[in-house]
Structure 1
Amino acid sequence: MDKPDASGSIDVAAPVERVYSLVSDLAGMAGVAREYAGGRWLGTADGPSVGARFRGSNRRGARFWTTIATVTDAEPGRFAFEVKSLGLPVSRWQYDIVPSADGCRVTESTWDRRPAWFRPLTVLATGVRDRGTQNQRNIEATLARLKRTAEHA
């Protein structure tokens, strides 16, 4: 796979399973992630599994938008999903969680999948001109919140 457009890692004093349950919980991540405001599983899906789809709600200031995501990886060491908007590829988000001596190391990464012609339209929807820089900031904030949440669970 190509290099992510934004990525960050943090050490968490919590077991892999606890962190995985947090990053794969649609409601729980709404309180941790910076732009993600919540989501709901679609169709017969009722939790994370490969192929499951969910509608994600996102908010940045007064701006609000939704996307459809399909889970591509769902196991305690990795949770990942591909995001689309209006049927077009937008991004891939991935959480890699590896055991460490004091708990685990979590790496959050994202790949921008938007076609070049679609990018100006997404700027109107989200208010973000430099998505790579914004995602890097979002990842850093999300990982810090994830660490606090996991370690105090």
Structure 2
Amino acid sequence: MSPPSASVSIHVSAPPETVYELVTDVTDMSGWNVECESAEWVGPIRGPRPGARFRGRDRNGRRRWSTLCTVTVADPHRVFAYGVRAGGLLDVAIRRFEITPSGTGCHVEQSTWDTRGPVLRLLGGLVSGVRDRAARERADMLRTLERLKAAAEAVGAPPSTGG
């Protein structure tokens, strides 16, 4: 796979299991994801499994749009990734969360790949109000990971390693 369009990471003082549960609970994603207004599972496969789909409703100020996402990777406590389609028709992005255990919790990296062609990039900028998507993605993903960190750490810190 090519390098991501944007990628950010953060250290979280919570177990990988806690973080994975948060990123895969798409129905509660709006609690920590900056752009997401709401999301719900759709179709016969529900939950974080490859092939499962969920509809996201996103916003930027007064602008709102809908996406249809398909889970591509669901490796418990390690990776959650999904493809994003605008209006359920046109591929626009791939989103990926990688979770790596550390001695004091875990390292979380969020990456995105912009899969739009030139025409869709222009139209996407008009719909979302975002001209420089990569710069905006980095800023939003950093805020998203900071909110994810706060949510995960509120649930509980990792067990003590002794001492």
TM-score (norm 2): 0.91
Q: Which residue pairs with 1:67 in the alignment?
A: 67
Post-superposition CA distance 1:111-140 (Å, at most 9, x none): 000011111111111000010000000011
Q: In the alignment, which residue of structure 2 is the partner of 1:26?
A: 26
Task: Spell out structure 1 runs of 4+ moving beyond 4 A.
Answer: none
Which structure 1 segments of 5+ residues have no match?
Answer: none
Say whether the 8 Å CA contact 2:79–2:98 is kept in structure 1: yes
Residue 149 of structure 2: aligned partner? 147
Alignment partners' CA distance in 2, 1:39 and 1:134: 21
The answer on whether the counterparts of 2:94 and 2:115 sit within 8 Å (CA) in structure 1 is yes
Distance 1:67 1:148 in 2: 26
Counterparts of residues 4-153 of structure 1 (less than 5 Å): 4-75=4-75, 76-86=77-87, 87-153=89-155
How many residues align structurally?
153
Supply the distance in 2 between the matched residues of 1:103 and 1:115 (Cα, whole angstroms). Answer: 38
1:93 match: secondary structure: strand
Larger radius of gyration: 2
What is the rounded CA distance, in whole Å, between the counterparts of 1:124 and 1:109 in structure 2?
A: 23
How far the C-alpha of 1:61 sits from its partner, in A, is 0.4
Q: Distance in 2 between matches of 1:56 and 1:28?
A: 11
Cα deviation 1:34-76 (Å, max 9, x = unaligned): 1111111111122111010111110110011001111001122
Show structure 2 runs of 5+ residues with no match.
156-163
Structure 2 counterpart SS, 1:33: coil
Taking only the aligned residue pairs, the percentage that are identical comes to 44
Distance 2:145 2:50 in 1: 23
Q: Where does residue 158 of structure 2 map in the other structure?
A: none
Is the contact between residue 46 and residue 53 of structure 2 (CA under 8 Å) also seen in structure 1?
no
Is residue 89–residue 115 contact of structure 1 (8 Å, CA) maintained in 2? Answer: no
- Superposed CA RMSD in Å reads 0.9
